[in-house]
């Protein structure tokens, strides 16, 4: 059997993602009841970080420990990767030592090359192109607060980045609508435009934040300067009209949720009033990274059904 990689939401069917979400909801319930089923006893997850992380790093690490497994934390800089060992050779060697690899690396092509050469599951912990673990946690959070995403309107306000790309991929499967408001200067690249076109008319792309947010059930924004972006001053100037403040948020549905993958740049893409307001669920969203990572890890190791998590 080939290894079960978790690279992009567009690689999955709805039922596969549903399986992972159901596992995550169940694992969360069990954890709150004080149960920590040791489903991944003695498994070792290697975590390679080319860039900074708080949530991804800690949630995978703690998630593995709660499941009875262990982690190895590595940075690209301290590995021979930094001295030009190929990503494929790195994958072949690591596959002989560990049971799974989670990697945060800017180059999506490098992620795919790593997965192509790895005989153990590889999980995408963020690339410049996508952030699928984050959007699975977002969907889990929406389901907890507002029920099914199907037919709901999601508004994405600001930069067109990796988190948006994974939201586009999710929209293809979950039956929601996605209204994107993004300045022309930071319009999605050709690859993402083609993914948007694949979804059809449930995704709209424009530059008017009020139009996108109107009657939305879920409002999402993210940093204006993603890891790997260089033109910070220019971005902050061009994206300023896309700040989610109380005036803009007032156009959303009265019970709309606000999400942000964090870290937030308060006063830039979102004001304190919105991110700390009663409709913000950003810390539930951050917590759910833990539960969804555990579910993704279980799925990668072939654990799919709820029966398997009964002690
Ligand atoms: N949202 C997210 O991926 O956070 P970190 O960069 O802290 O991992
Ligand atoms: N879009 C952001 C997400 C950080 C979790 C970035 O790539 O830096």
For ligand 1, atom 6, name the residue with the nearest CA.
53
What gap in Å lies between CA 111 and CA 63, rounded to an integer? 22
Tokens encoding 124: 């995408």
Q: What is the mean pLDDT of residues 290-297?
A: 98
Atom number, ligand 2, closest to the C-alpha of residue 226: 8
The stretch 142-161 carries a mean pLDDT of 98
**ipTM score of complex:** 0.99
R_g over Cα of the chain: 19
Is residue 11's pLDDT more than 80? yes
Q: Which atom of ligand 2 has the smallest separation from the CA of 162? A: 1
- Of the pLDDT bands very low, low, confident and very high (cuts 50, 70, 90), residue 289 is very high
Q: Chain-wide mean pLDDT for the chain?
A: 96
Give the closest residue to 278 by CA, choosing from 145, 154, 134: 145
* Catalytic (active site) residue 261: yes
Q: What is the mean pLDDT of residues 75-95?
A: 95
Nearest ligand to the CA atom of 53? 1
User: Chain-centre distance of CA 94, in angstroms?
Assistant: 24
Helix (H) or strand (E) holding 298: helix 282-300
Q: Looking at ligand 2, which atom is closest to the CA of residue 161?
A: 1
Distance 226 CA to ligand 2 centre (A): 5
Please state, for a pLDDT cut of 70, what percent of the chain lies above it: 98
Residue 306 has a pLDDT of 61
Q: What is the pLDDT at residue 305?
A: 75
With a cut of 90, say whether residue 308 has pLDDT above it.
no
pLDDT confidence bin for 2, thresholds 50/70/90: confident
The model's pLDDT over 172-218, given as tens digits with 9 standing for 90+, comes to 999 999 999 999 999 999 999 999 999 999 999 999 999 999 999 99
Give me the pLDDT at residue 151, please.
98
Q: Is 55 annotated as a binding residue?
A: yes
Distance CA 114, CA 48 (A): 11
Dist. CA 12 → ligand 2 center (Å): 22
User: What does the angle CA 3 – CA 64 – CA 49 come to, to the nearest 5 degrees?
Assistant: 75
Point out which residues pair with 123 in neighbouring strands: 6, 102
> Is there a binding annotation on residue 96?
no
What mean pLDDT comes out for the span 271-298? 98
Q: Is the pLDDT of residue 311 over 60?
A: no
- Architecture of domain 9-130+289-305 in CATH? 3-Layer(aba) Sandwich (3.40)
Query: Which tens digits make up the pLDDT trace of 13-54?
Result: 999 999 999 999 999 999 999 999 999 999 999 999 999 999
- CATH 3.40.50.1370, the chain: domain bounds: 9-130+289-305, 134-286
Residue 204 has, within 13 A of its CA and on its CB side, a CA count of 15
- How would residue 310 be classed by pLDDT, with cut points 50, 70 and 90? low
Q: State yes or no: pLDDT of 309 exceeds 90.
A: no
**CA 190 to ligand 2 center in whole angstroms:** 20
Q: Which numeric CATH code is attached to 134-286?
A: 3.40.50.1370
Is 20 in contact with 45 (CB distance < 8 Å)?
Answer: no
pLDDT of residue 1: 62
Would the annotation count 227 as a binding residue?
yes
243-257 pLDDT, tens digit per residue, is 999 999 999 999 999
307 pLDDT tier (thresholds 50, 70, 90) = confident
């Amino acid at each position: 059997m080939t290894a079960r990689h978790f690279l992009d939401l567009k690689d999955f069917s709805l039922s596969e993602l549903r399986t992972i979400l159901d596992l995550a909801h169940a694992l969360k319930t069990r954890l709150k009841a004080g149960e920590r089923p040791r489903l991944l006893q003695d498994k070792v997850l290697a975590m390679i970080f080319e860039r900074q992380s708080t949530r991804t790093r800690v949630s995978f690490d703690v998630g593995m420990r709660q499941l009875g497994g262990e982690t190895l934390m590595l940075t690209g800089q301290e590995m021979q990767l930094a001295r030009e060992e190929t990503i494929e050779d790195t994958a072949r060697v690591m596959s002989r030592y560990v049971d799974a690899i989670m990697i945060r690396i800017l180059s999506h092509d490098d992620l795919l090359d790593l997965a192509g050469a790895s005989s153990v599951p590889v999980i995408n912990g963020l690339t410049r192109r996508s952030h699928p673990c984050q959007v699975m946690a977002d969907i889990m959070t929406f389901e907890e607060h507002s029920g099914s995403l199907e037919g709901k309107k999601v508004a994405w306000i600001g930069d067109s980045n990796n988190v948006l790309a994974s939201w586009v991929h999710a929209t293809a499967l979950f039956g929601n609508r996605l209204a994107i408001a993004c300045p022309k200067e930071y319009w999605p690249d050709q690859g993402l435009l083609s993914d948007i076109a694949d979804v059809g008319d449930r995704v709209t792309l424009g530059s008017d934040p009020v139009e996108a947010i109107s009657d939305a059930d879920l409002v999402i924004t993210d940093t204006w300067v993603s890891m790997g972006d260089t033109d910070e001053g220019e971005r902050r100037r061009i994206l300023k009209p896309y700040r989610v403040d109380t005036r803009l948020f007032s156009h959303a549905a009265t019970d709309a949720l606000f999400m942000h993958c964090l870290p937030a740049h308060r006063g830039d893409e979102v004001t304190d009033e919105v991110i700390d307001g009663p409709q913000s669920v950003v810390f539930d969203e951050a917590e759910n990274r833990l539960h969804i990572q555990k579910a993704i890890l279980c799925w990668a190791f072939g654990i799919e059904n709820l029966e398997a998590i009964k002690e």
